[in-house]
Structure 1
Amino acid sequence: MLALKAENISKQYRLGQVGTGTLSHDLNRFWHKVRGKEDPYLKIGEANDRASKGESEYVWSLRDINFELTQGDAIGIIGRNGAGKSTLLKLLSKVTKPTTGKIYTQGRIASLLEVGTGFHPEMTGRENVYLNGAILGMTRKEITRKFDEIVDFSGVERYIDTPVKRYSSGMYVRLAFAVAAHLESEILIVDEVLAVGDAEFQKKCLGKMGSVTKGEGRTVLFVSHNITAIKELCNTALLLDKGKLISQGDVNKCIIEYQKNSDTKLFYNYLEDPTVLENENIMVKSYKAEPINGDIITTKSGIRITVGFTSKMEGVDIDLSFFLKNSHDLTIMSTGLMISQNKDIEKRDYTASFEIPPYTINEDSYYFDFFWGINRTDVAFRTELFGFEVHGIQNEFGEIVKSPGILFPKIVHSIEKL
């Protein structure tokens, strides 16, 4: 059963204005409409790229978004800051209207877009539960029936009769999420609010949203930069970039695509790349990941990682360590290499290499948390810019073969003075 459908929705903003125009713009739009002509302001505007200054005062926060959700789906919406995720949720929640396109929904919607939305600071937690529940569409009888359950879930029972202006941001979000999660809605929309709660409460929220989708058959739209949470909760995903829908469907594929579109460098040479990776201790000059066997990195090829750097220090000991993380931001491997042990480091170029054996890791995008240490106590330099992709091997049925994995892989290290 179809729960939600977005059909060619776009949202345009005019910089420095509330809405997209003035009275003269609205009259101009109306005049074109009665003559059967297209809105003239739809032909102008730029994508929402925060990295560039831009020339137009009109910005497209979203452009031509299409997708459908069936009842019981849990969909994660991912993308970098400014991609249009929160704007999309506001349109779906009917907080604001799309500039173009239509949104069809089946059933009641509960939205948790910002911490404490609908809360009155002078009112107590108890009063705000009733107020916020009413705003979300709950009847007083329904709120009373669920009140004890809401308060118990939030964990703020001791302060329920205290004005919420005295609450911490964590208590705010606990109570707000508890009200929204207990609304008997068909669709639950949650923005990046779990970042405010502590680890225990985040786990509790994820468990609640999981039971909402799997147990109660409700539809959940979830925006988060916590890729692990997206992976755990959602079965499908939307990937947004600069207001456009880049990928949709399988959550793993979207996460991998998101990682590919990040700032991770698959190779680096300081002579060819405008990025300068250095501080007063270390300068990174090159990086590359290549297969030990074959032409491309696959699950069975093995991987050789080579990092070239210059030491600007002497009379200390240096070690190079890395944590290998997958596209879900989970650390799956770590190792280290001592470059000097007798405080005999020289001001010169070095090359360090690591070899990961075949059949150790699966198809995915990976990146390194590299850091150089001084005398085993201080960090001399650190970067997470480097990464690589592993391609899967298909069997005769066209299925990607999983690597068996090696519990304690033997990683070969080497260091060379240049």
Structure 2
Amino acid sequence: MSVILKVENVGKLYKLGEVGTGALAHDMTRWWAKVRGKEDPFAKVAQKNDRTQKSSNDYVWALRNVSFDVQAGEILGIIGRNGAGKSTLLKILSKVTKQTEGNIKLKGKIASLLEVGTGFHPELTGRENVFLNGAILGMTKREIKARFDEIVDFAGVERYIDTPVKRYSSGMYVRLAFAVAAHLEPEILIIDEVLAVGDLEFQKKCLNKMRDVSENYGRTVLFVSHDLNAIKSLTTRCVLMQQGTVEHIGTPDDVVRKYLDRYDDTEAEFRNVDKSKPNISNVSIATSKEGGIQYFGHDMTLTARVNIPEATDALEMSYELIKSETNEPIAYNFFSTSGTMAYLKGKSGSFDVNIKIASLRLYRGEYYVKFNLSDPRGKVVFQRIEKCLPFEVFMYEIYNEWGFADGICKYIEESSLEISEQECR
């Protein structure tokens, strides 16, 4: 196979708090430095793209030194946490924005699906937008007509095809946009995580279509998703991005494993624990799908191995579900031997405490779990596990047409307990 896309040392610099690059003098100075082969004079104060740290200057690198090749007919997956630079990279490849540095070499036409509504004119009908997108890709009216019925059938919007797309729901928008991008024969198809808007059946349909255009038509697909199972089952190679750089390139299984290992701090939380007192020696999570994927409204189970060296009548355990982006607790619950953990009262040994959270109500995003084990009488904290069991919530078949205001929204999550005694180790 030949190389169809080559990305060489690509970087994207943004000036915080301003639209564009700033004053004309900045642009001219930056251009003159490039002509002389010098480093960008305004890049010297830039920071890496680390959203966990507060910015102390006016510039930030959304991407830096990004390099990789893509073979013709390959399906390349791109994964990473929110803010890793994935969407910025795809916008540069789609020519929505231009890189600050580096080169991109590609062969053929690109069709991209980056955000809901990207590439569609809201005042035009679905039919008119299909022809508009085909014309942008360099197709003739006859070529578009030959595929029109197939596009409409795939999207399932026959009844609304002559309605202005501004009246479409988000799901209809995405279905038609994907159908257009996949059926108008671009050499490179770029899909961002916008498919999460669609229902499960349509997501599967899209994944099968991407596999089909790659295997049977030799087209290249770049696919960004937080659905690690889809990445492993669909892609032939994968890129892991971290803070605007490429951290690792390899097989999907290898890259996904590195991604999960990097963000799971669970093991570190069990070091230096006083085992002469009640303690938690292991925790695990059972989400809707493997790989830490949890669907809104589905059950989730947390399991903690609680060790009690000496029998006690007073023990309390709590958990909190923390939003990764803000480190704020969103949901919590607590249990004690005077109530739901009465089974442990006056006992010693090792016990698995299974906390079943029915119909989890967290909005989509990345989260982690915090545990506390304490003696409520003396206000003694035996153990505090600050950060473990990372997981990510998706809306599954449910998509809210309204917006969501971020903020601290604490509530007690309904949870049921199941405790089983284990052999001491």
Q: Give the alignment's TM-score, normalised by structure 1.
A: 0.70
Q: Which residue of 1 aligns with 2:105?
A: 104
Structure 2 residue matching 1:47: 3-state secondary structure: coil
Q: Which residue of 1 aligns with 2:166?
A: 165
Are residues 1:312 and 2:316 paired?
yes
Q: Which residue of 2 aligns with 1:70?
A: 71
* CA deviations over 1:149-204 (Å, ceiling 9, x no partner): 00000011111112222211101100000000012111111111110110110010
Contact 1:312 1:348 in 2 (8 A): no
Q: Which residue of 2 aligns with 1:277?
A: none
Q: Which residue of 1 aligns with 2:280?
A: 286
Structure 1 residue matching 2:42: 3-state secondary structure: helix
**Partner Cα separation in structure 2 for residue 217 and residue 18 of structure 1:** 39
Displacement of 1:138 in angstroms is 2.9
Displacement of 1:132 in angstroms is 2.6
Residues 34 and 70 of structure 1, relative CA distance in 2, 3 Å threshold:
closer
Structure 2 residue matching 1:193: 3-state secondary structure: helix
Q: Which residue of 2 aligns with 1:409?
A: none
Displacement of 1:265 in angstroms is 1.2
Q: Which residue of 1 aligns with 2:196?
A: 195
Alignment of 1:131-280 (within 5 A): 131-269=132-270
Displacement of 1:239 in angstroms is 0.1
Structure 1 residue matching 2:63: 3-state secondary structure: strand
Structure 2 residue matching 1:189: 3-state secondary structure: strand
Displacement of 1:71 in angstroms is 0.7
Q: Which residue of 2 aligns with 1:61?
A: 62
Structure 1 residue matching 2:66: 3-state secondary structure: strand
Displacement of 1:35 in angstroms is 5.1
Residues 20 and 185 of structure 1, relative CA distance in 2, 3 Å threshold:
same
Contact 2:187 2:220 in 1 (8 A): yes
Residues 351 and 61 of structure 1, relative CA distance in 2, 3 Å threshold:
farther
Contact 1:10 1:101 in 2 (8 A): yes
* CA deviations over 1:306-334 (Å, ceiling 9, x no partner): 44598439xxxx9x9xxxxxxxxxxxxxx
Structure 1 residue matching 2:185: 3-state secondary structure: coil
**Partner Cα separation in structure 2 for residue 42 and residue 349 of structure 1:** 62
Structure 1 residue matching 2:232: 3-state secondary structure: helix
Aligned residue type for 1:41 = F
Are residues 1:414 and 2:421 paired?
yes
Displacement of 1:350 in angstroms is 7.2
Residues 92 and 350 of structure 1, relative CA distance in 2, 3 Å threshold:
farther
Structure 2 residue matching 1:268: 3-state secondary structure: helix
**Partner Cα separation in structure 1 for residue 340 and residue 255 of structure 2:** 47
Residues 71 and 387 of structure 1, relative CA distance in 2, 3 Å threshold:
same
* CA deviations over 1:242-296 (Å, ceiling 9, x no partner): 0111100211110000001124412424987xxxxxxxxxxx953348xxxxxxx
> Could you say what the CA RMSD is over the residues aligned between the two structures, in angstroms?
3.7
Unaligned runs of 5+ residues in structure 2 are: 284-303, 309-313, 320-336, 362-367, 371-386, 391-418
**Partner Cα separation in structure 2 for residue 343 and residue 257 of structure 1:** 37
Contact 2:109 2:137 in 1 (8 A): no
Shifted more, 74-83 versus 56-65: the winner is 56-65
Contact 1:350 1:415 in 2 (8 A): no
Q: Which residue of 2 aligns with 1:127?
A: 128
Displacement of 1:120 in angstroms is 2.1
Contact 2:43 2:59 in 1 (8 A): no
Aligned residue type for 1:32 = A
Structure 2 residue matching 1:24: 3-state secondary structure: helix
Displacement of 1:30 in angstroms is 3.6
Displacement of 1:349 in angstroms is 9.2
Displacement of 1:54 in angstroms is 2.1
Displacement of 1:137 in angstroms is 3.5
**Partner Cα separation in structure 1 for residue 94 and residue 49 of structure 2:** 21
Residues 156 and 52 of structure 1, relative CA distance in 2, 3 Å threshold:
same
Q: Give the alignment's TM-score, normalised by structure 2.
A: 0.69
**Partner Cα separation in structure 2 for residue 259 and residue 8 of structure 1:** 26
Contact 1:122 1:164 in 2 (8 A): yes
Residues 350 and 243 of structure 1, relative CA distance in 2, 3 Å threshold:
farther
Contact 1:115 1:169 in 2 (8 A): yes
